A and B are shown apart, each in its own frame.
Chain A
Amino acid sequence: MIKEKFSEGDSFFHKLDPRVKIIVALLFSVIVAVSDKHTSLWGALFLAVAAVIVARLRTKEVISRLLVVNSFIFLLWLMLPFTFPGEKVYTLGSLGISQEGIKYALLITIKSNSIILVGIAFLSTSSIFNLVHALRHLHLPDKLVQLFFFTYRYIHTIHSEYIRLNNALKIRGFKPQTNLHTYKTYAYLVGMMLVRSYDRSKRVYNAMLCRGFKGKFWTLNHFVSKKADFAAGIVMISCIMGLVLLP
């Protein structure tokens, strides 16, 4: 079971119309990604942290998600300061650490963390299904929306097939070790998982066909945009625009 840990709650962000959230998060990400002014980026990081605080999510879980992203960024810190051309501020044997390299790595760190934090505060606070509906209401092409939904849906299926097969191994006393038997078993497990998920996805698709599916999803629950959602959207977009105008 893949849990949407952050999607339950009743903070301001949980109640906000998902369409507004998607638009604001997208605008924020684009602006942060292309911006290279330090003042704007620190401002963006500040707003992102503020958003996560307003969303009242469990700090421990937010940090554990940030750790995943930052483990990749850590690799950049290992490379960039030594390889980026610029004024050397420190020398380590034959390697020089350049000031520009440090600045560049810092820039990337701030950018990625702000975007991730805003993603957590704005997007993870809606369930996947609500996001899918919102994307459809924003007139994203049907094919893309379905791709997004089914990717989620079948990651789920593959995961539950994995749990089932893994249980089948466990009840017959399988213990993973470093030997050929273990490797072989895991290879069978992966192979079987793919075959079974493929079969199941075919059966689900057939069941959908039998209920008159013709390639288009119709939604049952429609969003009702309140004035407050609209106003909140305007305020947040103004804040983002403010970031751009910072000196």
Chain B
Amino acid sequence: MKEKEKESVIKFVDFSFAYPSRDYIFKKLNFNFFKGERIGLVGLNGSGKTTLFHLIMGLLNPSGGKIEIFGKERKVENDFVEVRERIGLLFQDPDDQLFSPTVAEDIAFGPLNLRKNHQETKKILKETLETLGLAGFEDRITYNLSYGEKRLVSLATVWAMQPEILLLDEPTIWLDEGTIEKIVQILNSHPHLSYIIISHDKKFLKETTNCIYLMDNGKINKT
């Protein structure tokens, strides 16, 4: 394999993590994610898949070891500002992600935080909605959307930041087959995107990822 030439963008080194007064979820974890990889992550409920995503985004603090993202060690809150601008995390629950009254405003929130100007933001907004098949949704009220629509809009809010890596936490859960198919098509029509997908949907993972990792007992191994 040409793995040496590839750039490791997310690197866990002897990494440990435990929630307060509970047993370790990760103990001396070593894991590399390379640019261009599209991987699926499976594992039992409570095995720490979501926790791993939150650690990458700097929402939780490690108990030991280190984490390198984009070639730099990330330790304090400020280190993660750049990470959050370049990696997009799709939360499991769309109600956690959407907080603005209208779809347009929620999607614009990220690009505006990246200091895109008004015209650029409007352009990104339009392109994102078209890519995700949501044209015409601009002025819809976010809390009146159906669950499937909320999930697609959540994906749009992350997509609009044009991230280099996507972290998708159970993107297909409770979605009908048509909507799942739509997500498969969107992901497959962007072959340069790297991502990690947490999912229990084997068919979906087969269609969208190159390789599946199993998380078990705080270790991540290829299956």
Contact = CB atoms under 8 A, between A and B. Distances in A.
B5 to A, nearest CB: 30
Interface residues of A, number: 21
B88 interface: yes
- Interface-central residue, A206, A209, A211, by most chain B CB under 10 Å: A211
A204 B109 CA distance: 13
6 closest pairs, A vs B, by CB?
A212-B113, A218-B112, A211-B110, A203-B96, A220-B108, A207-B97
Given A206-B59, A222-B118, A211 B161 contact: yes
Contact of A220 (B99, B105, B114): B105
Main SS of the interface on chain B? helix
Interface string B121-153: 110000000000000000000010000000000
Contacts of B85: 212
Interface size grouping (class) on chain B: 20 to 34
Interface string A207-236: 111111110001111100000000000000
Contact of A211 (B54, B118, B158): B158
A220 B123 CA distance: 12
A222 B198 CA distance: 39
B207 to A, nearest CB: 26
Given A203-B96, A214-B113, 14 more contacts: A129-B105, A203-B93, A204-B96, A206-B96, A207-B96, A207-B97, A208-B109, A210-B59, A211-B158, A212-B114, A214-B81, A219-B112, A220-B112, A220-B121
6 contacts: A206-B57, A207-B89, A210-B89, A211-B84, A213-B109, A214-B113
A208 B93 CA distance: 14
A127 interface: yes
Contacts of A214: 81, 113
A153 interface: yes
A130 to B, nearest CB: 10
Contact of A212 (B81, B97, B121): B81
